[in-house]
Amino acid sequence: MPRRRALWVGLALLAPLARHARAASISALEAARIERLLQFVESQKQCKFVRSGSAYTAREGAQFLRAKYAKMGEHVTTAAQFIDQIAARSSTSGQAYLLRYPDGRTVPAAQVLADELRRIDRQR
How does pLDDT run across 41-52, given as a tens digit for each residue?
A: 999 999 999 999
Interval 30-47 mean pLDDT: 97
Is 57 within the bounds of a domain? Answer: yes
Q: Measured between alpha carbons, how far is 72 from 90 in angstroms, rounded to an integer?
A: 12
CA 26 to chain centre: 12
| Domain extent for 105 | 27-123
What does pTM read for this prediction?
A: 0.79
Is 1 within the bounds of a domain? Answer: no
- Burial of 62 by CB count in 10 Å (0-12 exposed, 13-18 middle, 19+ buried)? buried
Q: Measured between alpha carbons, how far is 47 from 103 in angstroms, rounded to an integer?
A: 10
For the chain, percent of residues with pLDDT exceeding 70? 81
Is 14 within the bounds of a domain? Answer: no
Is 91 within the bounds of a domain? Answer: yes
Is 113 within the bounds of a domain? Answer: yes
Q: In what order do the strands lie in the sheet with 54-57?
A: 54-57, 48-51, 98-100, 106-108
Q: What is the pLDDT of residues 70-102, one digit of tens each?
A: 999 999 999 999 999 999 999 999 999 999 999
pLDDT band with cut points at 50, 70 and 90 for residue 124:
confident
Three-class SS string for 65-76? Answer: HHHHHHHHCCCC
Instruction: Please state the domain count of the chain.
Output: 1
Q: Measured between alpha carbons, how far is 22 from 69 in angstroms, rounded to an integer?
A: 16
Is 4 within the bounds of a domain? Answer: no
Q: What is the DSSP letter of 77?
A: -
